[in-house]
Chains A and B, each alone.
Chain A
Amino acid sequence: MTDLAGAISTFGLVVFGFYVLISGGYLLIHLAALVRLRDRILGRYWKPVYDPLNDPFLPGITIVVPAYNEKSVITSSAESFLNVNYPELEVVIVNDGSTDGTLERLREHFDLEPVEAPVPVEEIPCEPVHQVYQSATVENLRVVDKENGGKGDAHNAGIWLANTELFCITDADTVMKPSCLRRLIRPFLNHPAEMVAVGSPIRVSNGATIRGGLVERAGLSDSHLANLQKVEYIRAFLSGRMGLDQLNSLLLISGAFGLFRTDVTREMGGYDSDSIVEDIEFTIRLHKHLRDRDRSYRVAYEPFPLVWTQVPEDRRTLSNQRRRWYRGLVETLSKHRDVLFKPRYGFVGLFGVPFFLFAEGAGRIVEATSYAVVPLAVLLGVFDPWHALLLTGLAMAYGVFLTWLSLFSEVWSTRQYDRSRDVAALMGYAVVEFVGYRQWRTVVSMIGLVEYLRGENDWGAMERLSLETEEA
């Protein structure tokens, strides 16, 4: 018993030290995000006297949209992509072996005609392409029909058939602001030689008022689960990614919206078709690829949200998604462990990847273990109940504090939620997150870990809701 108590005591000290370190890291990231936001808010009011729509040298962009069983949303989201206000724009939808009639819906709606010319590119790193279609009514729309291969695989099909300097990846359920690409292109215009990738925050569309493919108003959903995810997304995108970008450690440009150089991506061999978190794997590999070649480059993060995406509203789908994210994170960190603590990879290697490994990777394991060990420690008398309660409360309060800091960033900068009652509600969800939801998410991550160790690798399904708000 004494040995057990001793072990638990030692474990407790390790966990405490681990927690203090990780908490410090999160605070650093949040504060870095505030500094970046402050700079951006000031800089926001500087724009050149210049109309990009009139610029003949504006780089062309191909929006690449992987679609797997997206029948309910694909035509409205395609319309939204085609409505993006950008001079040289192509849209390539990649039907990734859908079984629900996605392709038929597209063929009917856009009057697609098969292109007779053989696919000239033999070495696209993706599953076989059945047919490429060109819309007879919309000149800049093409659809690629191929064997199912996953999101990264579908990206590659679109990227290799793109004919523009840049490509933008997005999801089929993403709603884009018409001005989104004119905003996202700015870092490329400011640094034409070095910029290789730009991301921006994604907002949750559940509960938003959407008409004609445009988000008229952000709002809260009837689904508590969706609202909890709204809080998560604000924290992750407005603080997490922003802060990491400020610290030159941005590891993830979301697959829901990112702008990249086509030539660099092809040089890298495109996305990893086998990865279930293709976006983070790609971003880390991008850093490695360019640093291994001693190339001067930049990756940027635009602070103002330009796109909206759906999140799961049922626990089963959310669980699938989070298990996949955790499996993918572990797999990616394992694959790229050679980056860890290596100065040649700059802050990505010295801070970004290690922080993800300890905070997002190992941190979940430590947290899950604590849920079992702390009560045991109290039972064994190793840990004073009052102190246990206080420390647990402190940890939760600190988490809420960081989340409220992110909400403060939102209120101060982007103000997507312009009603104070919505902000108050989100603050409430930030508290609720730490009483039940977070614990559930940790357990789900551990299931994901077990699945990873068992070699499971599937994507899971998500039921799409219609993008448009129904008239009352």
Chain B
Amino acid sequence: MTAALVAVAAIDPLTSASLAVFAGFVLVGAATLGGSLYFGRRNRRRDDDIETLRSAIVPLANHADTDWESWVEQLPDKRRERLRPLIRRQLPHVSGEYRRALRSLAITLDLDDRARTRLESSDERTRLEALNWLTLLDVPVDEDVLFRPEASPRERAVVARYLYERSGAAAAETATEYLLADGEPIPGYGLETLYRFNRADPRPLLDALEKWVVWDRTLTVQTLSVLRSCEPAAPDLALRRLVPCLNADAAATRAMAIHALGPYVGTVDVGEHVAVESLVSDPSTRVRTAAYRQFADAEDHAVVDLLAEAVIREDDENCKYAGVSYLAAHFERRGETPASVRQLLSWYDQTGDEQRFSWPVQWDMEWEHTEPPEVTT
């Protein structure tokens, strides 16, 4: 081969270049057309096989005593190979008897053992997919294989998900600690898992927040955004952990810490524990708006009056508008409105009546969103 190449190169540079391009031309052309024919046929056959298998599995799944082993044995090899991708595609989206049947089928195919073995791979993608299988099949795994100190945020998130599906809230402390251990931002699916673990009782998350000063800023904001959506628990612990975050350098952190205090506003004396005056004087509109929003529900009228005075002084019109909208509801419940606030409310009413809608606050709310929808299990 080498001799042939040398011979060709020796002919004439232009001719050899022409031959090289021509060869590449022919090769790529053949690969493209051939590939199109091959992949087309392969994909059609694959789709047909998968549909045939799926149709066969559905009636079998309704019988608790289906002999999956015998059924698999009578399948041709090619069809048997299709079962793994079929099960992988379907398992995340099904429930009940059909899910149980798919799990049994997967175990018959030794997919659980395969996943356990692949969990020890040095390739992260292989480990991640193994973890997915272990999660879907609800397979027990040794902890020393599961937890790796050098795991990436992505892998930690997938491990946490496995723990949630296996053990639910019982694993909250372990999973929360593992997810946040390296102080790096966690991927979106990890955030959702963190919320699932802590939504009813955020104590593990509050405990972990103690280390926020050494975390990446984004992780702190992520953690606070989850706390914001959790049920309030252990107000003393919450105040101990959240109030220091109000002094963070980053406006995003300060704002999200205020939001995280929101669930506790009805149960603690905000005025005693939080320097509301300094928050409503914060240079960031994001922080001021967060304060108007969360503290407008405070039981302490002195706090709300402080907010009202701040809104009256407010320079930023968007912030002002948002502040008034939050305060309007409070004063309506209260039944008595100070004169200065009446003027403010009148300005608010004049900006539009039925067609008023919430103008976007000039960029500010990172991860600002309305009440979280119920996360289904």
Contact pick for B125, options A42, A397, A423, CB 8 Å: A42
Chain A residues contacting B357 (CB-CB under 8 Å) are 115, 117, 134
Contact among B136, B192, B366, B372 with A263 in the assembled complex (CB-CB below 8 Å): B366
Residues of A within 8 A of B31 (CB): 408
Partner of B218, one of A50, A193, A387, A415: A193
- Residue from A46, A192, A400, A420 within 8 A of B37 (CB atoms): A420
Say whether A424 faces chain B, with CB atoms less than 8 Å apart.
yes
The verdict on A56 contacting chain B, using a C-beta distance below 8 Å, is: yes
**How many Å lie between the Cα of A303 and that of B99 in the bound state?**
32
A408 touches which one: B32, B358, B362 (CB < 8 A)?
B32
In the complex the two chains form, what is the Cα distance from A232 to B157 in whole Å? 40
Q: B376 to chain A: which residues have CB within 8 Å?
A: 54
- Chain B residues positioned under 8 Å from A47 (CB to CB): 132
A-contacting 9-mer, from B14-22, B169-177, B338-346: B14-22
Q: Please tell me the size bucket of the interface on B.
A: 35 or more
From DSSP, what is the main secondary structure of chain B's interface residues? helix
Partner of B21, one of A262, A397, A418: A397
- For the complex, is A48 an interface residue (Cβ under 8 Å from B)? yes
What class of interface size applies to chain A in its complex with B? 35 or more
Q: Give Cα A321–Cα B125 distance, bound, in whole angstroms.
A: 43
> Is residue A472 within 8 Å, beta carbon to beta carbon, of the partner chain?
no
Bound complex: CA A43 to CA B31 (Å): 23
- A87 to B372 Cα, complex, angstroms: 11
Shortest CB-to-CB span from A59 to chain B, Å, is 7
The answer to whether the Cβ of A407 comes within 8 Å of any Cβ in the partner chain is yes
Is B35 close to A, CB under 8 A? Answer: yes
Contact of B356 among A116, A192, A408, A420 (CB under 8 A): A116
Provide the residues of chain B in CB contact with A115, threshold 8 Å: 352, 355-357
B35–A408 CB distance below 8 A? yes
Interface residues of A in 226-284 (CB under 8 A from B): 262-263, 266
Which of B51-59, B181-189, B273-281 contacts its partner? B181-189
Query: Does B351 touch A at the CB level, under 8 Å?
Result: yes
Docked complex Cα distance between A118 and B157 (Å)? 45
Q: Report the bound CA distance from A397 to B20 in whole Å.
A: 11
**Is B197 an interface position by the 8 A CB rule?**
no
Closest to A116 in B: B352
- Would you list which residues of chain A between 154 and 204 have a CB under 8 Å from chain B? 161-163, 165, 185, 188-193
Q: Is the CB of A427 within 8 A of B187?
A: no
Residues of B with Cβ closer than 8 Å to A? 14, 17-18, 21-22, 24-25, 28-29, 31-33, 35-37, 39-40, 43, 92, 125, 128-129, 132, 135-136, 154, 157-158, 161, 165, 185-189, 191-193, 195, 216-218, 222, 225-226, 229, 317-318, 321, 351-353, 355-363, 366-369, 372-373, 375-376
A-B contact pairs, 14 of them (CB 8 A): A45-B129, A56-B195, A56-B372, A59-B367, A116-B351, A116-B353, A116-B355, A192-B185, A262-B363, A266-B363, A404-B25, A412-B35, A412-B39, A420-B37
